[in-house]
Homo-oligomer: A and B are copies of this chain.
Amino acid sequence: MQSPAPLMISHLLRTPLANTPDQLIIHGDVLRYSYRQFRSRLGRLANALRKLGVGQGGVVGVLDWDSHRYLECYFAVPMMGAVLHTVNIRLTPEQILYTINHAQDDVLLIHVDFWDIWQSIAHRVTRRVKIVCLSDTTIFDENLTDLTEYETLLAQSDPTFVFDDFDENTRATLFYTTGTTGAPKAVGYSHRQIVLHSLGFLATLAPVPGQGGLHRGDVYMPLTPLFHVHGWGFPYIATLLGLRQIYPGRYEPARLLALIAEHGVTFSHCVPTILNMLLSAPESAGTDLSRWKVLIGGAALTPALAQAALKRGIDVHAAYGMSETCPLLSVADMMSTGHLGDAATKDSAALETRIATGRAAPLVEFQIWDENQKVLPHDGQSVGQIVARAPWLTCGYINPSENDSNTSDLWHKGWLQTGDVGAITSDGTLQISDRLKDVIKSGGEWLSSLSLEQLATRVCGVTNAAAIGVPDSRWGERPCLGVEVLDHSQQHFTKIESDIRAIFLREIEQGRLPKWAMPDRIVAFDCLPKTSVGKIDKKALRIIFAAVDT
């Protein structure tokens, strides 16, 4: 009994085109148009790309800020049977070159802001690649006039394009994830996986009676760059729901806050850094954020940031996933985090629920494995590696480099190895405590680097913290702390260091931390080393600590 109906990205457009054809898609001050016009533009883009030689299996790379063009590529490129390569513009030019060559891009859509990067690597691209230039204004640099420009290309193309069905397992998207070791790794998702992920995310976020969730009345603005795990899948979900969508272009705090106010944005998603940046911006105080729901992922949502957000009336919840999981795995339980504003910051149980990495999404299953792959109980105490299965997890890295051992480690016995360490309570609440490789192994015990970091950030003046294990001949490893401080004068830092040690001491005395958790060294940083996606680069930090060894 074969099913005659494949799951296609084009099918996500069925209901918005039929039910809400006049709903708007808005790219800041650049362009606004209806879903009906969106469909025409998809036809134009597909015809234009076809004219540039893109066919089934062709690869279209995009280097752009979060724009209407990006959304158009999210749909038109996979819908014509081609693969959308979302180029990570935060990588080094050398890494960008690597990904373009590895992906075998046939066409590259490049925003003028990234033109210098392109010029520096173009001569080393190993394939013949056609370039389309993207710009938010119609005036171009004279040097670029011989290039095809996106809007001109669309204007010259026919809006009629029949997007046929094909095998749902056809690859739709492709992007690169950077570990702390080795070359960027290629991750791709099929039409089937993206459709299932969209439905699975809705089944997680939508069946919520009160706040927090996602519904057809929301106004959506992404704050996760669209090159990052296809915007966590939200542009597909927002389109399926027929939401008003706001694309903010380049992320500038004042501009993002103005867009939230102007369009009454109610739903966004981002890493903690972005939310922190917005709350710290001078324009923040004058902006009403009390209708705004924000899903936080990519790094731990700290109690301090959650409280700061709640104080502003922002309905904030943590979610958990990774590049290899499309990314949805779990979302904080929204059933028991009712009130907002000042009252919310006082409800510590609700706060714990908001910042917990949550409960498995429908169709997702977690297990906790010890070092010997033995399954541990969900008792809230047993800590081990989190492994997962779900219908939208990536099947494996694409064309991995031969000597990259990470690749073969992704799947084991039908379970995806997240590389994260945590515990699960008897009611399914997952709390990630560390990256497997960041766990500090001291005296035969595991110390969660995250819990040490959270303690350090409780100290006033500490804006960020990173705990690492530094090799130690006696204990195996010993914990060390790097802290980002606002004022790193020696006098100020001496105070901060003593405050941190006092907090650790109290935790140790009260039995909440083992005594070997006290950091050997605490070092102040203006800015901790970061990876291209803004996460703390612990590999770099370990090198720094080794270099300044006492």
A-to-B contact residues, CB < 8 Å = 1-7, 11-12, 14-15, 18-21, 169-171, 188, 190, 192-193, 195-196, 199-200, 202-203, 206-209, 213-217, 240-241, 335, 359-366, 378, 389-393, 395, 411, 414, 424, 426-428
Q: Which residues of B contact A199 (CB under 8 A)?
A: 196, 199-200, 202-203, 362
- Asked if A360 contacts B14 (CB within 8 A), the reply is yes
Contact status B428-A18, CB under 8 Å: yes
13 additional contacts (CB under 8 A) given A3-B395, A241-B362 = A1-B169, A2-B169, A3-B169, A4-B411, A4-B414, A7-B196, A15-B362, A15-B364, A15-B428, A18-B365, A199-B199, A202-B202, A207-B213
Q: Is the CB of A426 within 8 A of B14?
A: no
Complex Cα gap A119–B128 (Å)? 77
CB-defined contacts of A196 to chain B, threshold 8 Å: 7, 199
* A389 and B428 alpha carbons, distance in the complex (Å): 37
Set B5, B215, B216: member contacting A389, Cβ < 8 A: B5
A366 to B17 Cα, complex, angstroms = 11
Determine whether the beta carbon of A15 is less than 8 Å from that of B359: yes
Q: Which of B1, B213, B335 contacts A190 (CB 8 A)?
A: B1
Measured CB to CB, the closest approach of chain B to A449, in angstroms, equals 26
Query: How far apart are the CA atoms of A361 and B170 in the complex, in Å?
Result: 25
- Asked if B206 contacts A391 (CB within 8 A), the reply is no
Q: Which B residues are CB-close (under 8 A) to A171?
A: 1
A393 and B5 form a contact (CB under 8 A): yes
Which of A190, A196, A240, A363 is packed against the most chain B CB atoms within 10 Å?
A363
Known contacts A206-B207, A217-B209; A361/B1 CB under 8 A: no
**Are B215 and A208 within 8 A (Cβ)?**
yes
Once bound together, how far apart are the Cα atoms of A214 and B206, in whole Å? Answer: 9
CB distance from A355 to the nearest CB of B (A): 18
**A190 B3 Cβ-Cβ under 8 A:** yes
- Which 5 residue pairs spanning A and B have beta carbons closest together? A206-B206, A19-B428, A199-B199, A206-B207, A18-B428
Closest to A359 in B: B19
A8–B389 Cα gap in the complex (Å)? 13
What is the chain B residue whose CB lies nearest that of A426?
B21
Q: For A215, what are the chain B residues with a Cβ–Cβ distance below 8 Å?
A: 206-209
Candidates B15, B170, B361; contact of A363 at CB < 8 Å: B15
Q: Are B359's CB and A207's CB within 8 A?
A: no
A200 to chain B: closest residue by CB? B199
Do residues B391 and A3 form an inter-chain contact, with CB atoms below 8 A?
yes
Partner of A391, one of B1, B7, B427: B7
Closest to A6 in B: B391
Q: Cβ of B203 and Cβ of A206 under 8 Å apart? A: yes
B residues near A361, Cβ cutoff 8 Å: 15
Q: List 12 A-B contacts (CB under 8 A).
A: A1-B169, A7-B196, A12-B363, A18-B360, A18-B365, A18-B424, A19-B359, A19-B427, A202-B206, A202-B207, A202-B362, A207-B216
CA distance in complex: A2, B208 (Å): 33
**Do the beta carbons of A15 and B207 come within 8 Å of each other?**
no
Task: State the CA gap A360–B242 with chains docked (Å).
Answer: 12
Residues in chain B near residue A335, CB distance under 8 A = 216-217
Name the residue on B nearest A2 (C-beta).
B169
* A207 and B390 within 8 A (CB): no
A141 to B: closest C-beta gap in Å: 39
| A170 closest partner in B (C-beta) | B1
Task: Name the B residues within 8 Å of A362 (CB-CB).
Answer: 12, 14-15, 199, 202, 240-241
Chain B nearest CB, measured from A190 CB (Å)? 6
Note all chain B residues with C-beta closer than 8 A to A2: 169, 395
Least CB separation from A366: chain B residue: B18
Distance in angstroms from A90 CB to nearest chain B CB is 26
* Cα distance, A427 to B21, chains bound together (Å): 7
Q: Are A360 and B11 within 8 A (Cβ)?
A: no
- Report the separation of the CA atoms of residues A240 and B202 in the bound assembly, to the nearest whole angstrom: 13
Q: For A193, what are the chain B residues with a Cβ–Cβ distance below 8 Å?
A: 3
Residue of B nearest to A393 (CB): B5
Residues of B within 8 A of A169 (CB): 1-3
Give CA–CA (A193, B1) in the complex, Å: 11
Q: Are A365 and B14 in contact (CB under 8 A)?
A: yes
Could you tell me the distance between the alpha carbons of A203 and B214 in the complex, rounded to whole angstroms?
A: 11
Q: Are B209 and A5 in contact (CB under 8 A)?
A: no
Chain B residue, CB-CB nearest to A14: B365
Inter-chain contacts of A7 with B (CB < 8 A): 196, 391
Determine the chain B residues whose CB is within 8 A of the CB of A203 once the complex forms. Answer: 199, 202-203, 206, 240
Query: Which residues of B have CB within 8 Å of A209?
Result: 215-217
A428 to B217, CA, bound (A): 17
Interchain nearest-CB distance for A43 vs B (Å): 17
Asked whether, in the complex, the Cβ of A5 is within 8 Å of the Cβ of B390, the reply is: yes
A188 to B19, CA, bound (A): 30
**B390→A359 contact, CB < 8 A:** no
Shortest Cβ distance from A334 into B: residue: B216
Please give me the residue from chain B that is nearest to A428 by CB atom. B19
Contact between chains at B14 and A363 (CB < 8 Å): yes
